Amino acid sequence: MTRDRLKALLTKFSSTRVLVIGDLMLDEFIWGKVDRISPEAPVPVVWAERESAMPGGAANVAGNVQALGGQARLVGVIGRDACGERLTHELQARGISTEDILIEPDRPTTAKTRVVAHHQQVVRIDREKTHPIVGQLLQRLLETAKAAVPQVDGIIIEDYGKGLNHASLLRPLVSLAKRSKKVITVDPKEEHFRYYRGVTALTPNKKEAALAAKLPITDEASLLQAGRKIMRTLRPEVLLMTLGEEGMRLFGRDGSKPVKIPTVAQEVFDVSGAGDTVIAAFTLARAAGASFLEAAVISNAAAGVVVGKVGVATCSPEELEQKLFAAGSR
């Protein structure tokens, strides 16, 4: 990819609209330092110095779309609680509309609190309920998502298994998006793979791909076997399998050899949210007119940026350009 080609795509990002639907979370961080072990138990004592919070889960995906210069529209559910209020504030501060976020008083906002000391995560505390969203709330959620589909260029379904994504929502939503010829990408949970047949792209990590294919991935041969089985079974246009320090593999329908995309990360401080960055950058690029390979290369570079930061992070267009051309593009 040339620098001119990247700049042309980045210019299109500003007019590209992406709907993100999925499980919304608040990522909280307590930052501090450790200089002793507790006398009460063999655990470190963290001296808290500051706290911060940012959108997590599907909200982080929307944040990545927005940070890259795109227009994110977000559909999901939060609770009527302090975490929900803080998440709403953090989204609005990033220029992301919260008008399509529904409130369920009896369901807490999913929150993950990470304690970080000396750039290392010490512990994570999760607060959530994962029972399926049903009844009137489900109907309102589906109507909200359906109303948004005609107004966007791409759709991301973020499935973290927290109760929002299940058959009653996914089947009609995916069907409508396919009829509307929208770019549809999915970061899937393995138990829901069957609902995503025929989408534009699936972006599982190695563990998710192995579970979906019902094949252990232990080497290159088993990786290729699992990827091809998913392609045969679910028929996405492409499968982008994320492999951590091994980069990515891009599988296509044409039966050609999958493309190996090496990682461009130079330092890895924190992989939290890297998958969110991948699907956000891939979808935004594809909806803006990039080829599948160009979109994969862009998403790989964006992920290389965020893993070099501590905590759940995003990537700016300037950081993306710097990472891509440091990686050898001209």
Question: Which CATH number covers residue 86?
Answer: 3.40.1190.20
List the beta strands (DSSP E) in the chain.
17-22, 24-37, 44-57, 71-78, 101-103, 110-117, 120-127, 154-158, 183-187, 201-202, 238-242, 248-252, 259-261
Distances (CA, A) of 182 to 32, 35, 96, 284: 45, 53, 21, 12
The one-letter amino acid at 88? T
Burial of residue 219 (number of CB atoms within 10 Å: 0-12, 13-18, 19+): exposed
Residue 214 in domain: yes
Q: What string of pLDDT tens digits covers the 330 residues of the chain?
A: 888 999 999 999 999 999 999 999 999 999 999 999 999 999 999 999 999 999 999 999 999 999 999 999 999 999 999 999 999 999 999 999 999 999 999 999 999 999 999 888 899 999 999 999 999 999 999 999 999 999 999 999 998 889 898 888 989 999 999 999 999 999 887 778 888 899 999 999 999 999 989 999 999 999 999 999 999 999 999 999 999 888 899 999 877 889 999 988 656 555 567 889 999 999 999 999 999 999 999 999 999 898 877 666 788 999 999 988 875 544
* Structural domain boundaries enclosing 233: 3-25+54-111+129-326
SS3 assignment, position 68: coil
Residue 32 in domain: no
Residue 181 in domain: yes
Residue 31 in domain: no
Residue 142 in domain: yes
* Residue 35 annotated to the active site: no
Q: Which of 23, 27, 187, 276 is catalytic?
A: 276
Residue 101 in domain: yes
Cα separation, 115 vs 108, in Å, equals 21
157 contacts 196 by C-beta, under 8 angstroms: yes
How many domains does the chain contain in total?
A: 1
Residue 316 in domain: yes
Residue 47 in domain: no
**pLDDT for position 191:** 74
Cα separation, 325 vs 202, in Å, equals 26
